[in-house]
Amino acid sequence: MTIFELLQLMLPDGTDAFEPIRSADSAAPWINQIGCACPTWPPDLFAVTGRIIEESGCYTLASPDRGFNSSIRGIVNDASINAHVCFLNALAAIVQAWSDDPLVPPEPVTDLWDELVGSHGHKCVSSIEADPEAAGCVLRLFAIADEACRGMGWGDSQDKPLSTSFSHMVLMRMGGWAEIGLHLPFSLCSMVSPRVAVVLPKSITASVGCTVRSLSHYLALLPPSHVVRTSWTLPAGRYLEEGQNELSDPYDFRLLLIPFPFHVSGESFVLNTPRAELGKKHFWPAYFGLEQQWLDSSSGPLDGARLGKEFVRPLIDQARKQTGKMPHGIVLPECALNREIAQDLVRELSDSGIEFVITGVLHEQDGKTYNQACTFVIDQDQEDAAPFVQNKHHRWRLNRTQADSYALDFDGSHANDKWWEDIDVSQRTLPFFGLRKEMSFVTLICEDLARSDPAMSVVRAVGPNLVVALLMDGPQLAVRWPGQYATVLADDPGSAVLTLTCAGMVDRSNWQQSRPIRSIGLWRDAVGKTQEIGLPENASGVVLTLQSKQKHQSTLDLRSDNELSRQLVLRTIIPVFLDAVPEWV
């Protein structure tokens, strides 16, 4: 495929995102003579140049030429450094000009675009890596598009704005201004359909490796929406009180972890489909189901309002007393609740001051079972909040060793040694959330943390500050599998990873241990800290205080983010005790 063919494929409806706000009789003066004008919306330019870079592999040429040869070993080449400083200054000037005059890309951009289409358009994308001129052209356009989207997807200060006017337009779009057609919340693009490519805001630039992911600060290029359906949500957050200029602790972040359920009976695991022979040593596998018996109490089925009033609200109160501050969010493990209880719980907490709730749920619909993560963003002034729901992407395959370690014996056939989780894993979605000050997170469910799949590539591309993994697993020890896979994401892209499992499964697993460790969670961050999160005897929850700190990042082509990135570090872990724990807990 040639570059021109790729452009036609990605931009079938033209390149002018501002056409809807021009009067009908206003001709577009920037249409070039080649028949394919430069995209007027920077995320569109980012998408098409990013696709060329990714498919050609020419990101390998992005590092600036150091002018090195063996005769100058050990000596800084001033000419190369000066040349790069000139490149950065010119880039900043171009981006400023485009931001100040947003309807028409500035001449240096249209010149580069005309070169791309006119001089290199007939070339095969696969040949670009071996063509330094073409590669240089597309890499420069990509860098301009990325810088023109500084701050996109986030809020900004009107007094000291850091973002470009394009980023402010996206913020206005979130505020209801619909004059420009954007594919929000699924993509920041206008003329490039999500069916072809998706562009989302980015939090962390991978600082290791050599990929297209290491080449941008502000935008992430993702696969088409049919591969995995992603979205970006930026809640409005708290309105400031009268007379208050800014949030008192914008970069602190407190999470109340509730490792519910605290008891999981062996009867909660049931054999849904026994193993059947298909041929010689070839079997239709067995499937197990989960019955949430912890949601039944001696006085009847548990409901969300009761869970909130009798257990979660007292925990919030205790958390506030023991830490001196209100937690911002609550996290519950995989399969802790069902959808109805989760919704009722959030409704009960609507005036509690909690900003968001993340919980694992088991959901039955149309005869199918879904293992889901629900994220609720709560506005105190509204009575209700709709959850963002994502299905687990991979089934758990329970083997005999694991079953024995949890003292599970639900299959009468002792010849069988593995069982698949009986859930539907279709319709992959992956919602990303921007919360508070430049802090983003995504949730993964158990196996999804460990599997290498398109969703994991998306996580690496966006680089959320925090990855929350909801588990139904044994003790969260650094040496066990969650610790190993958390390390992978902490390394690339550099996200902090928090795993949380339920106390009930930790205790079942610990029955076999002579020195049990009641670790219900694990923290791993990009600075190398790994922290097991213990639940002391009689504690009902744990409050983590996280802090987001400024971080300087650089792209492969040595562009600085001027410390706009943030990274999360774990400051304190405080267990929360209740004076009286409800009998049903």
List all residues 6 or more positions away from 242 whose beta carbon is below 8 Å from its beta carbon: none
74 versus 176: smaller Cβ distance to another protein: 176
The tokens for 35 are 């028949």
Candidates 5, 22, 297, 513; binder of another protein (CB under 8 A) is 22
Backbone CA torsion sign across 524, 525, 530, 532: negative
- DSSP letter for each residue of 219-252: EEEE--TTTSEEEEE----PPPPTT--S-SSTTE
Residue 172 Cβ vs another protein, minimum distance, rounded to whole Å:
5
171 versus 578: smaller Cβ distance to another protein: 171
Residue 187 Cβ vs another protein, minimum distance, rounded to whole Å:
12
9 versus 236: smaller Cβ distance to another protein: 236
Q: Which residue has the tokens 């039944």?
A: 296
Closest alpha carbon to 264 in 541, 474, 423:
474
3-state secondary structure of 449: helix
Show contacts with another protein in window 117-156 (CB under 8 A).
155-156
Question: Is the Cβ–Cβ distance between 477 and 519 less than 8 Å?
Answer: yes
Tell me the C-alpha distance between 452 and 503, whole Å: 28
Kind and range of the H or E run holding 469: strand 466-470
Q: Which stretch binds another protein (CB under 8 A): 96-104, 194-202, 407-415, 548-556?
A: 96-104
Within the chain, what is the greatest distance between any pair of CA atoms? 84
Is 14 one of the binding residues for another protein (CB under 8 A)?
no
286 versus 337: smaller Cβ distance to another protein: 337
Q: Which stretch binds another protein (CB under 8 A): 101-109, 284-292, 326-334, 507-515?
A: 101-109
Is 277 one of the binding residues for another protein (CB under 8 A)?
no
Task: Mark residue 283 as left, alpha or beta (left: phi above 0; alpha: psi -120 to 50; beta: remaining).
Answer: beta
With b meaning 16 or more CB within 10 Å and e meaning fewer, what string describes 248-264? eeebbbbbbbbbbbbbb
- Residue 323: exposed, middle, or buried by beta-carbon count in 10 A (0-12, 13-18, 19+)? middle
Is 110 one of the binding residues for another protein (CB under 8 A)?
no
3-state SS, 284-327, equals ECEEEEECCHHHEECCEECCHHHHHHHHHHHHHHHHHHHHCCCC
Question: Is the Cβ–Cβ distance between 56 and 135 less than 8 Å?
Answer: yes
List all residues 6 or more positions away from 83 whose beta carbon is below 8 Å from its beta carbon: 64
Show contacts with another protein in window 395-454 (CB under 8 A).
427, 429, 431
Question: Residue 465 to residues 214, 268, 495, 526: CA-CA distances in angstroms?
Answer: 16, 35, 5, 10
Residue 33 Cβ vs another protein, minimum distance, rounded to whole Å:
18
Show contacts with another protein in window 155-194 (CB under 8 A).
155-159, 161, 165, 168-169, 171-172, 174-179, 184-186
Residue 343 Cβ vs another protein, minimum distance, rounded to whole Å:
7
Task: Mark residue 180 as left, alpha or beta (left: phi above 0; alpha: psi -120 to 50; beta: remaining).
Answer: beta
Question: Residue 564 to residues 47, 202, 220, 307, 495: CA-CA distances in angstroms?
Answer: 22, 11, 16, 40, 15
Residue 306 Cβ vs another protein, minimum distance, rounded to whole Å:
17
41 versus 287: smaller Cβ distance to another protein: 41
Question: Residue 174 to residues 39, 170, 178, 377, 389: CA-CA distances in angstroms?
Answer: 22, 6, 9, 16, 20
CA dihedral 257, 442, 439, 560 (to 10 degrees): 140
378 versus 449: smaller Cβ distance to another protein: 378
Is 369 one of the binding residues for another protein (CB under 8 A)?
no
Phi, psi (rounded to 5 degrees) for 467:
-110, 120
Is 23 one of the binding residues for another protein (CB under 8 A)?
yes
Is 231 one of the binding residues for another protein (CB under 8 A)?
yes
Candidates 31, 88, 104, 581; binder of another protein (CB under 8 A) is 104
Is 103 one of the binding residues for another protein (CB under 8 A)?
yes
- H-only helix segments in 501-541: 503-510
Q: Which stretch binds another protein (CB under 8 A): 16-24, 286-294, 404-412, 506-514?
A: 16-24
Residue 154 Cβ vs another protein, minimum distance, rounded to whole Å:
11
- The mark string for 237-276 relative to another protein (x by CB under 8 A, - otherwise) is x-xx------------------------------------
Tell me the C-alpha distance between 370 and 364, whole Å: 6
Show contacts with another protein in window 487-546 (CB under 8 A).
none
25 versus 537: smaller Cβ distance to another protein: 25
Residue 111 Cβ vs another protein, minimum distance, rounded to whole Å:
17
Residue 197 Cβ vs another protein, minimum distance, rounded to whole Å:
18
Show contacts with another protein in window 386-405 (CB under 8 A).
386-389
Residue 436 Cβ vs another protein, minimum distance, rounded to whole Å:
12
Q: Which stretch binds another protein (CB under 8 A): 88-96, 110-118, 210-218, 225-233?
A: 225-233
Judged by CB under 8 A, how many residues of this single chain contact another protein?
61
Residue 368 Cβ vs another protein, minimum distance, rounded to whole Å:
13
- The mark string for 313-342 relative to another protein (x by CB under 8 A, - otherwise) is ---------------------------x--
119 versus 165: smaller Cβ distance to another protein: 165
Binding site for another protein (CB under 8 A): 20-23, 25-26, 28-30, 99-104, 155-159, 161, 165, 168-169, 171-172, 174-179, 184-186, 229, 231, 233-237, 239-240, 340, 343, 347, 377, 379, 381-389, 427, 429, 431
